[in-house]
């Protein structure tokens, strides 16, 4: 039943466009869900996309513009006139319209805004443009349904019928006082029970969970997640209801955060997708590679300063990869656990000291186990007891150091309001490489070289 | 306005419990949102949790049990009798009740089920227990609101008022035929417009997006995300409406997937949190460390077999960390991009060959840049041109190899329905370590050693 995009369908669409077969498009594309049409637009070329877009009815066209992938949209919008964009924007929710306008070049933004005929829509957008993109205000919509606390159910119903026209999903009716201050909520369910003369005052639920327009969107998402809300009201600094955020926007924030953390841990510095071009992909990956390169060169210095010892004991070189692999893995593991706990707000109570001690214990347990296995390997080969001792001690030291460093750095970054995910991936592994090598050769210098 | 858990508050609660000050608890804890009470339960000890739980009213107690952290809940449930658990379960939605029962030991499961007095609830649970936990059926709830297609609005309203009692958030009214087959949906909004005599038949929207009970929960989540749904109906194999999935459950699936991918990329093999104990944390981290250890030992063999060359050219050892770091980073980057694209279903159209060629280009671009920088470094120090050439060629080879391997492996795993995230993190880095070393020394053997 659900639409599935196939190569065959895409080639049929291309064929229809080249033949100017508008009937095929109207019958097979326009009837689809906007999210599906948007998916098609991601794959066809610009001319084809334009042809399809012209054939969509107004509301469908607006929904497709909202759903389409941002990269594709930027190119596509550049091919539309300010007037065409403005027409689509009139059919959008204010939050989607604002997102779209934000993506336009500054000059075109003004042109589009001046072309919007629906004045309440253009003033809503101008208003929303004032908020930071990653704040509650930046993701809220101005469309909501509100009833005055002094109305009766009958009066409310009459007024709501008008408001409801504008709002796609009602979810909750907000209750406000004469000064538009948020007083509470009224579930639609209650309307199925209440008699016409009941006062909203006697029906509403006071003190709803709400957010201030200026808090970060991440915080909004975690509040909605914690309290399992599908919609949350947004108030301004004097408590007036000014908008609402729905779960799909919060979900987007959650996904983006998770993807960002994942990409940072994997050493990718911009938000990229495999469909981006070679230059974008290369550029996003280069910064961490350069950090790794620097670490590798520093490592070369560390090892280079023990050149004579290596000439004498070349077998010391053999265990460099082992030391590096262990230090890297332990560091990434510890930092990942901290980063994830911070993201889930599940760390606020324990003290830093307690976390470090726990990590020290984990590092010790795993360090001892891995060292013992390494020692067994040493005894099975012709490695001297002194070298085996060096490797064992070095491994445990690297485990302890990497565990502590991996735990400590994200906590410090978080304390100074820097994204702790920065600490994961190449940064931790690179530092651990250099320090790990230093520890290994110093322990070798103390135990094995004499 | 939102509750924030502080150390002070926790110590006040502990104090109140030790003094048996039930008034303090009733006034300061019971009034909170269940999600907040659950958060408190995560931090207090078992005796304190029991004391607080006894003071909650029935519905509140059930909600807290649903929200509480699973580890804490398992311990807590062990301290409750089957009868007490059954009483709470009667106040839960069927999906939450089923989740809870699934976490109990088998013997207690049966005891609790037999203690449930509400027969429709216990049969719902027995029914839901048949589905795989990670299928649509495993996360759906049996509570929904449905109207018969042949009813009038007035009849529907009368019947719905009864059904609505059972359902926390209505969202959508489903329309079914006489055989309970899903025919469509009816938005609550429409009820605000329709006259009493209108037939549901003339009011409903046919062909709603729905899912089969047996599809994976991940797929449900991505459908809900794509179409921005807050609720989706679930049908059985003959199209009968048997349940619904709400966005909070889909959100949980999305979060868990993202966390699992992130942890796998970071070399953590079980779902752990920083609050878990030292043994759980150590155990979750050990498997990848052992893989790293094996890689390190294999690396030692590779390097060991060039012992004579290292004795002669100890400077070869200095660049081992550089080669390893570059191979590791490139491999992780490429696999992360593929894993994320697969997770977002944004890869289905491009062929494998096209992806590999693109990755080859990216690897070449970054490989050449990094090699050039490394060469500059070589010329600034007293490194011979032959060694510089060896390092440059080795770097580019490692980039190409690691990029291809990092792209290929997750695609292969995905083809065979194995989680591609397995390919990220220590598995890729470990393999790349060994192969990278081999490439480096073989290139040295060809260029530098003679």
Q: Indicate whether A273 belongs to any domain.
A: no
Rounded distance, CA A79 to CA A201, Å?
Answer: 52
Q: Is position A359 within any domain?
A: yes
Band (A326; pLDDT cuts 50, 70, 90): very high
Q: Identify all chain A residues contacting B429, using CB atoms and an 8 Å cutoff.
A: 325, 328-329
- For Cα atoms A226, A230, A234, give the angle at the middle one, nearest 5 degrees: 85
A156 and A119 within one domain = no
Q: pLDDT grade, residue B348 (50/70/90)?
A: low
Q: How many CB pairs under 8 A join A and B?
A: 348
Stronger pLDDT, A264 or A423, i.e. the higher one: A264
b/e map A220-238, b = 16+ CB within 10 Å: bbbbbbbbbbbbbbbbbee
Mean pLDDT of A302-306: 92
Please answer whether residues B244 and B141 qualify as being in contact, where contact means their C-beta atoms are separated by less than 8 angstroms: yes
Q: List CB contacts (< 8 A) between B5 and chain A.
A: 348-349
The answer to whether the CB atoms of B192 and A161 lie below 8 A apart is: yes
What's the token pair of residue A398?
Answer: 């690297």
Same domain? For B364 and B310 the reply is yes
Tokens standing for A361?
């214990």
With cut-offs at 50, 70 and 90, classify the pLDDT of residue A82: very high
B17 compared with B270, residue with greater pLDDT? B17
The pLDDT of residue B195: 84
Report whether pLDDT(A417) > 90: no
In a domain, B266, yes or no: no
Q: Is the dihedral of CA A411, A417, A421, A426 positive or negative?
A: negative
Q: How confident is the model at residue A322 (pLDDT cuts 50, 70, 90)?
A: very high
- Token output for B159: 């019947």
Q: Considering chain B, what is the average pLDDT of its residues?
A: 89
Residues of chain A contacting B355 with CB distance shorter than 8 Å: 274
pLDDT at A209: 94
- Pairwise pLDDT comparison (B300 vs B72), residue with the higher score: B300
What are phi and psi for residue A256, nearest 5 degrees?
A: -60, -40
Residues A432 and A310 in one domain: yes
- By Cβ distance, the residue of B262, B292, B301 closest to A329 is B292
Cβ-defined contact of B268 to A189 (cutoff 8 Å): no
Q: Do A329 and B288 touch (CB under 8 A)?
A: yes
Q: At B46, list the tokens.
A: 């078992």
Read off the pLDDT of each residue in A350-354 and give the average, rounded to a whole number. Answer: 77
| Within-domain flag for B299 | yes
Chain A residue numbers with beta carbons less than 8 Å from the beta carbon of B246 are 230
**The CATH number of the domain where A166 resides is what?**
3.10.580.10
> Domain check: are B416 and B289 in the same one?
yes
- Burial of A68 per CB tally in 10 Å (0-12, 13-18, 19+): buried
The answer to whether residues A170 and A289 belong to one domain is: no
Whether the per-residue pLDDT at B76 is higher than 70: the answer is: yes
Q: Which residues pair with B243 in a beta bridge?
A: B234
> A157 and A106 in one domain?
no
Domain of A300: which CATH number?
1.10.357.20
CA distances to A147, A253, A357, A445 from A352, rounded to whole Å, are 48, 28, 9, 34
| Number of folded domains that form chain A | 3
- The nearest alpha carbon in chain A to B7 belongs to A349
The verdict on a CB contact (< 8 Å) between A348 and B5 is: yes
First to last CA, chain B: 75
B248: pLDDT strictly greater than 60: yes
B356 and B392 together in one domain: yes
The string of pLDDT tens digits covering residues B49-73 is 989 999 998 889 999 999 998 878 8
B363 or A166, which is more confident = B363
Both tokens assigned to A130: 């004032």
pLDDT digits (tens, 9 = 90+) for A17-52: 999 998 999 888 888 999 999 989 888 888 889 999
Q: Is the pLDDT of residue B3 over 60?
A: yes
pLDDT of residue A449: 77
Note whether A221 and A140 are within 8 A (CB).
Answer: no
Question: Per-residue DSSP letters for A9-36?
Answer: HHHHHHHHHHTT-HHHHHHHTTTS-HHH
Q: Which residues pair with B321 in a beta bridge?
A: none
B301 contacts on A by Cβ (under 8 Å): 318
| A187, A324: one domain | no
What is the reported pLDDT for B343? 77
Hey, are the CB atoms on B366 and A228 less than 8 Å from each other?
no
Residue of A43, A258, A304 lying closest to B258 (CB–CB): A258
pLDDT at A416: 87
What is the per-residue pLDDT across A229-256, written as a single tens digit (0 to 9) for each?
Answer: 999 999 999 999 999 999 999 999 998 8
Is the predicted pLDDT of residue B199 greater than 80, yes or no?
A: yes
CA B39-B44-B45 angle, 5° bins: 135
8 Å CB contact between A314 and B314? yes
Q: Are A173 and A147 in contact (CB under 8 A)?
A: yes
Q: Is B303 within a domain?
A: yes
Q: Which residues pair with B148 in a beta bridge?
A: B176
Q: How far is CA B302 from CA A244, A311, B173, B307, B403, in A?
A: 61, 17, 67, 9, 22
* CATH at B75: 1.25.60.10
Which residues from chain B sit within 8 angstroms of residue A301, using beta carbons? 318
* A78 and A187 co-located in one domain: no
Q: Mean pLDDT over residues A309-315, rounded? A: 91
A230–B319: do the CB atoms touch at under 8 Å?
no
Asked whether the beta carbons of residue A337 and residue B361 sit closer than 8 angstroms, the reply is no
Least confident of A218-232, A425-439, B159-173: B159-173
Whether residue A320 is contained in a domain is answered as yes
Residue A40 within a domain: yes
Place A348 in a pLDDT band, splitting at 50, 70 and 90.
low
Banded pLDDT at B349 (limits 50, 70, 90): low
**B293 inside domain:** yes
Residues A366 and A237 in one domain: no
Nearest to B273 among A7, A317, A341 (CB): A341
Q: Which pLDDT does position B345 carry in this prediction? A: 66
Question: Is residue B14 over pLDDT 60?
Answer: yes
pLDDT at A304 over 60: yes
Angle between helices B247-265 and A320-343 (to 10 degrees): 160
Q: Measured between alpha carbons, how far is A291 from A279 in angstroms, rounded to an integer?
A: 19
Say whether pLDDT at B184 is over 70: yes
Phi and psi at A318, nearest 5°, equal -60, -30
Residue B138 three-state SS: helix
Residues B153 and B199 occupy one common structural domain: yes
Q: Quick one: closest CA in B to A309, which residue? A: B314
Measured CA to CA, the distance from residue B399 to residue B405 in angstroms comes to: 10
Domain hosting B239: range is 146-255
B169 has a pLDDT exceeding 80: no
Pair B330, B405: CB distance under 8 Å:
no
Q: Do A153 and A121 belong together in one domain?
A: no
Q: What percent of chain B has pLDDT over 90?
A: 52
């Amino acid at each position: 039943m659900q639409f599935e995009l196939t190569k065959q369908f895409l080639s049929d669409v291309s064929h229809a466009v080249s033949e100017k077969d508008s009937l095929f498009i109207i019958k097979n594309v326009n009837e689809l869900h906007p999210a599906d049409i948007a998916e098609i637009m991601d794959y066809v070329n610009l001319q084809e996309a334009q042809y399809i877009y012209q054939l969509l009815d107004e509301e469908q066209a607006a929904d497709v513009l909202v759903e389409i992938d941002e990269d594709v949209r930027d190119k596509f919008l550049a091919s539309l006139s300010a007037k065409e964009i403005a027409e689509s924007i009139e059919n959008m929710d204010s939050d989607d319209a604002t997102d779209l306008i934000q993506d336009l070049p500054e000059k075109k933004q003004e042109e589009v805004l001046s072309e919007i005929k629906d004045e309440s829509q253009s003033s809503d957008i101008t208003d929303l443009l004032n908020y930071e993109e990653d704040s509650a205000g930046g993701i809220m919509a101005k469309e909501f349904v509100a009833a005055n606390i002094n109305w009766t159910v009958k009066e409310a119903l009459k007024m709501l019928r008008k408001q409801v026209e504008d709002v796609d999903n009602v979810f909750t009716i907000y209750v406000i006082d004469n000064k538009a201050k948020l007083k509470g909520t009224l579930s639609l369910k209650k309307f199925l029970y209440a008699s016409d003369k009941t006062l909203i005052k006697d029906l509403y639920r006071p003190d709803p969970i709400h957010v201030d327009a200026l808090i970060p969107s991440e915080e909004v998402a975690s509040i909605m997640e914690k309290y399992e809300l599908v919609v949350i009201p947004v108030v301004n600094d004097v408590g007036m209801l000014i908008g609402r955020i729905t779960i799909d926007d919060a979900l987007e924030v959650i996904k983006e955060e998770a993807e960002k953390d994942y990409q940072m841990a994997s050493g990718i510095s911009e938000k990229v997708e495999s469909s981006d071009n070679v230059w974008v992909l290369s550029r996003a990956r280069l910064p961490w590679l350069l950090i790794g390169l620097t670490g590798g060169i520093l490592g070369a210095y560390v090892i280079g300063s023990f050149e004579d010892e290596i000439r004498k004991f070349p077998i010391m070189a053999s265990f460099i990869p082992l030391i590096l692999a262990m230090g890297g893995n332990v560091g990434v593991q510890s930092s990942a656990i901290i980063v994830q706990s911070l993201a889930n707000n599940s760390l606020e109570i324990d003290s830093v000291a307690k976390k470090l001690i726990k990590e020290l214990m984990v590092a010790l347990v795993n360090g001892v186990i891995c060292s013992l296995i390494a020692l067994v390997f040493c005894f099975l080969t012709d490695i001297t007891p002194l070298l085996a001792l060096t490797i064992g001690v070095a491994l445990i030291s690297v485990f302890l150091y990497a565990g502590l460093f991996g735990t400590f750095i994200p906590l410090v970054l978080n304390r100074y309001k820097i994204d702790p995910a920065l600490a994961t991936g190449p940064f931790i592994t690179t530092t651990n490489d250099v320090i790990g090598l230093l520890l290994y050769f110093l322990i070798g210098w103390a135990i094995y070289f004499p």
